[in-house]
A and B are shown apart, each in its own frame.
Chain A
Amino acid sequence: MDQPSKGAGVSGADVSDIAIEANAAAKAPVADRAQALKQFALSDKTFYWLTRASAICVLLLLGGIILSLIVGAWPAIQHFGLSFLTTQRWAPQLEPAPILGGLGPIYGTFVSSLIAMLIAVPVGLGIAIFLTELCPMWLRRPFGVAIELLAGIPSIIYGMWGFFVLAPFLADHVQPWIIAATSGIPVLGSIFGGPPSYLSLFNASVVLAIMILPFITAISRDVFMTVPPVLKESAYGLGCTTWEVVRNVVIPYTRVGVIGGVMLALGRALGETMAVTFIIGNSFRIQDSIFSPGTTISAAIASEFAESGGLHQSALFLLGLLLFVLTFFVLAAARLMLMRLERAKGA
């Protein structure tokens, strides 16, 4: 606060002298320069260790979470072993020991994320291309902001909206149409088999797709912006159409970054809980049709954790551990790809 006026006035002194005086002025004047420098070294070191401790804290937390998940899941791992991954039954009420298998939620997690990606990736990339290549300048900002706002909506809102508005719409207008169009065709007929349902794997996937759309769009748009204008202009100069520029210049140049964005979105889709729990129907049975209810790992945990105990709770811990490992690898892959892009850009 009160800077010493005399320290600033010293002429001919080097920077460290000024610093020493500035620091020492409030206290008794320090004659010994070496001692003052030592003080700096000490504060530097303290700062270094403080920041380092914060960083280590995060790692410890991460390790602690994994450890507590493993400890919680241990009874289930011992009791069910690998058969947990292949059993479809989920019967927590059985006496003396429940039969619990994670296949239903694992299947539901993969399928809902897959369908969500199938919808969100093309649409998200389309929006990003439109925003960077085709959109009139004055529209870019409002459009981009609107997309980013989608990412800020809390997932419970998506859940409510999905439950009350989107799911009935899909069940009344979209599903019957798909069922009619595919009935009789061997494999598709059973994947899209009726009757239409308000709470279903498909409806949950559509909500998921909308939720992850902004991630894909925002990241793709940012990496599309990194394409050097020279490259694009040369291509246009050679007579390329916009499609050809996007296809042959923009996408190849940013491929890794786009994949990184997609993986981040996938990570969110795998772990999304509230919105999915509202709409997916929470049935542990695996059924052929995606219009029938299913469940995901996170939905199963959210639904049953409060009232669980013993092996049932341990099995939910095990599901949590599986999800943790799964999303960890997906996000690690995403980071790796984004890092590679950064390096390529730097080179």
Chain B
Amino acid sequence: MHLNRFFRSALVAGFAAMASLSAAAQDITGAGATFPFPIYAKWADAYKKETGIGLNYQSIGSGAGVKQILARTVVFGATDAPLQAEQLAKEGLVQWPQVMGALVAIVNIDGIKQGEMTFDGQTLADIYLGKIKTWNDPAIVKLNPNLKLPAAPIAVVRRSDGSGTTFVWTNYLSEVSEEWKSKVGSGTAVEWPVGVGARGNEGVAGNVAQTRNSIGYVEFAYAKQSNLTYTLLTNRTGQVLRPNRETFQAAAANAEWSKAPGYRLILTNQAGEKSWPITAATFILMHKKPQDPVAARRALDFFAWAFEKGDAMADELDFVPMPDSVVKLIKQTWANEIQVK
């Protein structure tokens, strides 16, 4: 009797598992960047409710995402650091920007509140180079004449794990400082002159929160949700800007996407009075000749849906939707280059 019941329930469980497996076969598989994970997850949730097709996205990091798409274990890869046009051609990949985000510097200094402090690129680079060592350094005081800054040493915090966030941050520092460019350069993991490394956005945020007189960098979405003390930035036109949707979109609007092969544009230090200087798009990679054209079709449907209906959700999470003109270009690229069924 008992055995019988056991077998029956096992059988039911087995069928249920198979049913969910066959449902999972419908799912779109993707892997890569951790930075856009919150918005991809949100889109996926809404898309599943609307169409019944789910998204299985593994946020394992940009580099790993590139490896996975090259190995064809997923239908699309996602990366914060865009690939070069030559590499795209060689591997038969198509690349496009899906959504944008921005980085901010966060600080922990007694008495200084969110959005009170101002930096410019050169000063940030010098702090991360270890050239500016204390908070009352003339360069910082000059930018913040009204703040009372302590004579304490600056505790520099950075990411320890290789990440797209670090790529964008170091790319910006390379743009604004010749010395940073020649001594360190940009990459998902670099040879940091100073500072302690913490894991992930939450590690950097946690460390800055714990350590007095510290500075770090995180994605704006993360800083806003966790209510961190983010700072203002001076852009290349000398305007002091507040990080918000308006300044992020200004950076994207000023970019010339149509002239960039593979949409390879990093939106740091863009021209334009209102352009937030550390803005970046995050990219999707797909094969021109996918092994499973039906699955590729499903993935493109999802991304098209996200471009059309995902803007409000992106806003909610402080991501920045791609401008309509760019979306048009991207759809043209899909039609021309990706063979789907």
**Closest beta carbon of chain A to B307's beta carbon, Å:** 27
Q: Is the CB of A307 within 8 A of B61?
A: yes
Q: Which residues of B from 194 to 211 have beta carbons under 8 Å from A?
A: 195-199, 203, 206-207, 210-211
Q: Which residues of B contact A198 (CB under 8 A)?
A: 196, 207, 210-211
Q: Which residues of A contact B188 (CB under 8 A)?
A: 307
Q: Is the CB of B199 within 8 A of A278?
A: yes
Q: Is the CB of A282 within 8 A of B162?
A: no
Q: CB-CB contacts of A67-102 with B at 8 A, as 1s and 0s? A: 000000000000000000000011111110000000
Q: Is the CB of A304 within 8 A of B191?
A: no
Given the contacts A303-B162, A307-B64, A199 and B189 also touching, CB distance less than 8 Å? no
Q: Is the CB of B160 within 8 A of A308?
A: no
Q: Is the CB of A89 within 8 A of B197?
A: no
Q: Which residues of B contact A312 (CB under 8 A)?
A: 189
Q: Pick the contact of B190 from A93, A195, A199, A282 — CB < 8 Å?
A: A93
What's the Cα separation between A197 and B213 when bound, in Å? 12
What's the Cα separation between A306 and B199 when bound, in Å? 13
Q: Is the CB of B207 within 8 A of A199?
A: yes
Question: Residue B62 at the A interface, CB < 8 A?
Answer: yes
Question: Residue A217 at the B interface, CB < 8 A?
Answer: no
Residue picked from A92, A167, A299, most chain B C-beta under 10 Å: A92
**Closest beta carbon of chain A to B148's beta carbon, Å:** 21
Q: Is the CB of A163 within 8 A of B206?
A: yes
**Closest beta carbon of chain A to B192's beta carbon, Å:** 7
Q: A-B contact count, CB below 8 Å?
A: 90
Q: Which residues of B contact A113 (CB under 8 A)?
A: none
Q: Which residues of B from 282 to 333 have beta carbons under 8 Å from A?
A: none
Given the contacts A93-B187, A306-B162, A283 and B195 also touching, CB distance less than 8 Å? yes
Q: Is the CB of B170 within 8 A of A93?
A: yes
Given the contacts A93-B170, A94-B185, A309-B63, A281 and B190 also touching, CB distance less than 8 Å? no
Q: Pick the contact of A93 from B153, B185, B203, B207 — CB < 8 Å?
A: B185
Q: Pick the contact of B187 from A92, A199, A293, A303 — CB < 8 Å?
A: A92
Q: Which residues of B contact A278 (CB under 8 A)?
A: 199, 203
**Closest beta carbon of chain B to A168's beta carbon, Å:** 6
**Closest beta carbon of chain B to A34's beta carbon, Å:** 40
**Closest beta carbon of chain B to A100's beta carbon, Å:** 9
Question: Residue B186 at the A interface, CB < 8 A?
Answer: yes
Q: CB-CB contacts of A283-306 with B at 8 A, as 1s and 0s? A: 110000000010100010001101
Residue picked from B192, B196, B206, most chain A C-beta under 10 Å: B196
Q: Which residues of B contact A89 (CB under 8 A)?
A: 191
Q: Is the CB of A93 within 8 A of B184?
A: yes
Given the contacts A282-B160, A304-B189, A306-B63, A197 and B206 also touching, CB distance less than 8 Å? no
Question: Residue B60 at the A interface, CB < 8 A?
Answer: yes
Q: Is the CB of A284 within 8 A of B198?
A: no
Nearest residue, chain A, Cβ from B211: A198
Nearest residue, chain A, Cβ from B183: A91
**Closest beta carbon of chain B to A286's beta carbon, Å:** 13
Count residues of chain A with CB under 8 A from any CB of chain B. Answer: 32
Given the contacts A92-B190, A195-B153, A198-B210, A303 and B185 also touching, CB distance less than 8 Å? no
What's the Cα separation between A21 and B160 when bound, in Å? 70
Q: Which residues of B contact A282 (CB under 8 A)?
A: 160, 196-198
Q: Is the CB of B60 within 8 A of A283?
A: no
Given the contacts A164-B206, A306-B60, A281 and B187 also touching, CB distance less than 8 Å? no
**Closest beta carbon of chain B to A336's beta carbon, Å:** 37
Question: Residue A175 at the B interface, CB < 8 A?
Answer: no
Question: Residue A277 at the B interface, CB < 8 A?
Answer: yes
**Closest beta carbon of chain B to A13's beta carbon, Å:** 36
**Closest beta carbon of chain B to A169's beta carbon, Å:** 11
Q: Which residues of A contact B116 (CB under 8 A)?
A: none
Q: Which residues of A from 167 to 207 have beta carbons under 8 Å from B?
A: 167-168, 195, 197-200
What's the Cα separation between A168 and B211 when bound, in Å? 8
Q: Is the CB of A284 within 8 A of B191?
A: yes
**Closest beta carbon of chain A to B204's beta carbon, Å:** 11
Q: Which residues of A contact B153 (CB under 8 A)?
A: 195
What's the Cα separation between A278 and B199 when bound, in Å? 7
Q: Is the CB of A283 within 8 A of B189?
A: no
Q: Is the CB of B60 within 8 A of A92?
A: no
What's the Cα separation between A277 and B185 when bound, in Å? 24
Question: Residue B163 at the A interface, CB < 8 A?
Answer: yes
What's the Cα separation between A283 and B160 when bound, in Å? 8
Q: Which residues of B contact A90 (CB under 8 A)?
A: 191
Question: Residue B161 at the A interface, CB < 8 A?
Answer: yes
What's the Cα separation between A284 and B62 when bound, in Å? 22
Q: Which residues of A contact B61 (CB under 8 A)?
A: 306-307
Question: Residue B142 at the A interface, CB < 8 A?
Answer: no
**Closest beta carbon of chain B to A179's beta carbon, Å:** 14
Question: Residue B48 at the A interface, CB < 8 A?
Answer: no
Question: Residue B67 at the A interface, CB < 8 A?
Answer: yes
What's the Cα separation between A168 and B108 when bound, in Å? 15
Residue picked from B67, B190, B199, most chain A C-beta under 10 Å: B199
Given the contacts A199-B207, A293-B196, A277 and B160 also touching, CB distance less than 8 Å? yes
Q: Which residues of A contact B206 (CB under 8 A)?
A: 163-164
Nearest residue, chain B, Cβ from A163: B206
Q: Is the CB of A307 within 8 A of B63?
A: yes
Q: Which residues of B contact A306 (CB under 8 A)?
A: 60-61, 63-64, 161-162
Q: Is the CB of B63 within 8 A of A308?
A: yes
**Closest beta carbon of chain A to B153's beta carbon, Å:** 6
Binding site for B on A (CB under 8 A): 89-95, 163-164, 167-168, 195, 197-200, 277-278, 281-284, 293, 295, 299, 303-304, 306-309, 312
List 6 interface pairs A-B (beta carbons < 8 Å), by A numbering.
Answer: A91-B190, A92-B190, A93-B186, A94-B191, A164-B206, A306-B63
State the 6 A-B residue pairs at the shortest beta-carbon distance, nearest first.
A307-B162, A93-B187, A282-B197, A282-B160, A91-B191, A307-B63
Given contacts A304-B162, A308-B63, 15 further A-B contacts (CB under 8 A): A92-B189, A94-B191, A164-B210, A198-B207, A199-B197, A199-B207, A282-B160, A282-B197, A283-B192, A283-B197, A303-B161, A307-B162, A307-B163, A308-B189, A312-B189
